[in-house]
């Protein structure tokens, strides 16, 4: 079972007020209804959603819809649940602000459908039940979307979402309009908004673990990069020391610089900080990382000069 299905199952079990149920049903029928003169035909692959829609229609309008089940052999072979409403069709469509008084389809529902924040949330919930999907936070990216057939519906739902600060965007995908969220925190806020509280807890737990893992990986990468940098620096210093000894001998170096060269050979993989601590401890003469670095610069200058002269010869 997918995370999107878990979310839809959870919100399908909510108990809401009559006005919220009307807003939710309005969104569902507007986006998932096949309307004819004789019936309103709704369908879904989710049995929980089918039962919810059936119950809302029964409770609000006193109608026992016809519910049937068929196997979807064309695609993933899941069952498809059909709810057919054959009574009070005109009244229901007008009451849910799907059609106007003349029976024409409205581009967007009238204000009374989404007159309060709770009714706005309910409409969003109905749109998600019919046209929404959400990635499991365990996957490679955070993504939530609604895929609408009509542009005006996508604009309407985007406006509702952004009334709650969710920063949703619209993208044309083939012939459909996708309203989507990409920000992890906004998706978590969306789940709270539609009252999918169990899903919020799961989502946040996985998100925190995933981000902690990413932080650990970044730290490990940083540590690896630092280690490689230290090794490269040590190798360059050893080469400078070897070249000085080969060309003219280490006795050319003053005592302090020669001491550093000897300790670098003795501890070839130590960082400057580690080497400064070792020298300070063993010689009882404190030396800082900065002082050590200064002496290695002198070694490099001498090695560069000797190599340059050797090339000329």
Point out which residues pair with 43 in neighbouring strands. 82
Mean pLDDT of 273-298: 90
Pair 11, 94 in one domain? yes
Pair 248, 152 in one domain? no
What is the per-residue pLDDT across 87-125, written as a single tens digit (0 to 9) for each? 999 999 999 999 988 888 899 999 999 999 999 999 999
Pair 258, 171 in one domain? no
Pair 50, 190 in one domain? yes
> What is the sign, positive or negative, of the torsion defined by CA atoms of 216, 220, 225, 230?
positive
Q: Does 265 reside within a domain?
A: yes
pLDDT of residue 199: 94
Residue 107 structural domain: 3-195
Mark out the alpha helices in 33-116 (DSSP H runs).
47-61, 89-95
Point out which residues pair with 180 in neighbouring strands. 145, 169
Q: Does 82 reside within a domain?
A: yes
Phi/psi at 147 (5° precision): -120, 105
What is the per-residue pLDDT across 209-259, written as a single tens digit (0 to 9) for each? 877 777 777 777 787 778 778 888 888 999 999 988 888 888 888 889 999
Mean pLDDT of 76-87: 86
Pair 239, 141 in one domain? no
- What total number of domains does the chain contain? 2
Specify the long-range contacts of residues 275-283, CB closer than 8 Å, at least 24 apart.
283/259
Domain stop point among 165, 195, 225: 195
pLDDT of residue 74: 60
Point out which residues pair with 105 in neighbouring strands. 99
Pair 76, 146 in one domain? yes
What is the spatial distance between Cα 85 and Cα 42, in angstroms, rounded to a whole number? 8
What is the per-residue pLDDT across 5-52, written as a single tens digit (0 to 9) for each? 999 999 999 999 999 999 999 999 999 989 888 899 999 999 999 999
Domain stop point among 195, 220, 251: 195
């Amino acid at each position: 079972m997918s995370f999107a299905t878990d979310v839809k199952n959870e919100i399908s079990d909510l108990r809401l007020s009559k006005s919220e149920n009307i807003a939710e049903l309005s969104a569902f029928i507007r986006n998932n209804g096949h309307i004819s003169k004789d019936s309103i035909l709704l369908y879904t692959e989710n049995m929980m959603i089918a039962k919810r829609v059936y119950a809302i229609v029964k409770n609000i309008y006193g109608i026992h819809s016809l519910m049937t089940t068929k196997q979807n052999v064309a695609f993933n072979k899941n069952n498809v649940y059909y709810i057919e409403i054959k009574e009070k069709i005109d009244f229901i469509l007008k009451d849910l602000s799907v059609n106007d008084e003349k029976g024409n389809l409205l581009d967007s529902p009238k204000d009374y459908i989404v007159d309060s924040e709770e009714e706005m949330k309910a409409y969003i919930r109905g749109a998600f039940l019919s046209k929404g999907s959400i990635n499991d936070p365990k996957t490679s990216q955070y993504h939530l979307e609604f895929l609408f057939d009509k542009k005006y519906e996508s604009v309407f739902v985007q406006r509702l979402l952004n009334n709650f600060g969710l920063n949703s965007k619209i993208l044309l995908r083939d012939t459909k309009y996708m309203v989507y969220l990409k920000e992890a925190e906004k998706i978590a806020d969306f789940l709270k908004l539609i009252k999918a509280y169990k899903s919020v807890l799961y989502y946040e737990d996985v998100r925190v673990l995933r981000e902690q893992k990413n932080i650990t990986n970044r730290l490990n990468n940083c540590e690896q990069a630092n280690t490689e940098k230290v090794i490269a620096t040590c190798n360059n210093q050893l080469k400078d020391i070897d070249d000085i000894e080969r060309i003219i001998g280490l006795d050319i170096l003053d005592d302090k610089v020669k001491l550093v060269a000897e300790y670098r050979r003795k501890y070839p993989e130590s960082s400057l900080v580690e080497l400064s601590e070792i020298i300070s401890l063993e010689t009882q003469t404190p030396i800082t990382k900065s002082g050590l670095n200064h002496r290695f610069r002198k070694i490099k200058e001498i090695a560069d000069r000797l190599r340059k002269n050797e090339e000329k010869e």
